Amino acid sequence: MSGWREARNVLAVRLDNAGDVVMLGPALRAVKETSGARITLLASPAGTEAARLLPWVDDVITLPAVWQDVGARIPFNPARELALIDELRRRAFDAALIFTSFSQTPHAPAYACYLAAIPLRAGDTKEFGGSVLTTELRSTDADDGIHQAERDLRLVEAVGFAVRDRSLAIHVDDHARAAARAALEALGVSSRYVLAHPGASASARRYPTDRFRDVVGLIAASGMDVVVTGTERERSLVERATPAVTHAHALIGGLALPEYAAVVERASAVVCGNTLPLHLADALRVPVVALYAGTDLETQWRARDTDAVVLRRDTPCHPCYLFDCPIGQPCLDIAPDLIAKEVLDAADRRVACAAAG
């Protein structure tokens, strides 16, 4: 094997949240279309669920990675990583593409790939890491603001894969659509609705729950159904964000991620923070109103391929990259009536576009 485009058994590493795996789609599509290689994704448990939406992924290895751990939640167990190295060696990968955000290092997973005898290893880094990467794409502080999907794409371009399409896309099958339709009908929702998602993995990125409840109430008062979504773990949050009014419905857990994506696909509009439904809506071309906390730069994670409105108050601490806000989230001090109007306008635009063909 002389190089990357001759690799036939490729490991793609993205050990982060589900939304990050959704944004990895364009890069994996480019690898598959250029070389036809078999692609195995090394992913977190949440990322493993998202991989089901990407038709370019042939197999998945699931790992809660200690080098991605936040708050020492992963138990001390070096045997876990040694077993991973053995598994990677057994699968005899030709090459490893290590995808990271601007704040993450590729060197820890690259070293695991080196120990697993993977000959080609590429990553994007600002750090010195010796020769654990055979292709080291050197980034700078100025690169921190590029969109995550573009960061992934420039890595595959750097090693010679051709990019035909830079947009997000996911696959939603008929089974998932049928399950979504059944779940909505069980709620009494069968036509137009807004999907409202109050949750996010970091509390600093969540619009205040009492105000989110007001947004849902205002949209419901217009006669539009609102489906408020969340996982079983977010039950309390979803219940507090769903007012006891006609047209407001809580959809908590019960759906696999492809089925949830089908619920997003059917929505007239989505309102959420910087979290998974934002990226699903982008990939499915559903209008989205993003309540975008000042934790991150919009350029890094914003929707690019759909009708999107970003709402954030400018603050001197932006971007803070904090998980918890110590000053009361002034960046998300946005009036519920303004949000509700933007959501309803976005839903109307989708209807108008559909009518126009």
Distances (CA, A) of 179 to 158, 171, 226, 255, 259: 41, 15, 18, 8, 6
- What is the reported pLDDT for 278? 98
3 state DSSP class of 80: helix
% of the chain beyond a pLDDT of 70: 99
User: pLDDT of 329-346, one tens digit each?
Assistant: 999 999 999 999 999 999
129, pLDDT greater than 80 = yes
Sheet holding 225-230: strands in order across? 248-252, 225-230, 193-197, 269-272, 288-291, 308-311
- Where b means 16+ CB within 10 Å and e means fewer, 63-84 reads bebbebeeeeeeeeeeeebeeb
Q: What values do phi and psi take at 33, rounded to 5?
A: -70, -30
- DSSP for residue 76: P
- Phi/psi for 241 (5° steps) reads -90, 0
pLDDT at 1: 40
Q: Which two tokens stand for residue 318?
A: 């932006």
Average pLDDT over residues 94-109: 94
Give residue-wise pLDDT tens across range 40-96: 999 999 999 999 999 999 999 999 989 888 777 889 899 999 999 999 999 999 999
Is 225 within 8 Å of 194 (Cβ atoms)?
Answer: yes
Confidence of residue 2 (pLDDT cuts 50, 70, 90): low
What's the token pair of residue 260? 């949830």
**Residue 178 corresponds to which amino acid?**
A
C-alpha 45/C-alpha 202 separation (Å) is: 17
Beta strands in 215-307 (DSSP E): 225-230, 248-252, 269-272, 288-291
pLDDT tens by residue, 203-231: 999 999 999 999 999 999 999 999 999 99
Paired sense of beta strands 193-197 and 95-98, if any: unpaired
| pLDDT per position as a tens digit, 253-273 | 999 999 999 999 999 999 999
> DSSP characters for 153-221?
HHHHHHTT---S--S------HHHHHHHHHHHHHHT--S-EEEEE---SSGGGSPPHHHHHHHHHHHHH
Query: Do 118 and 94 touch, CB atoms closer than 8 A?
Result: yes
Per-chain mean pLDDT for the chain: 95
The helix, strand and coil proportions of the chain, stated in percent and rounded to the nearest 5, come to 45, 15, 40
Predicted confidence band at 357 (pLDDT cuts at 50, 70, 90)? low
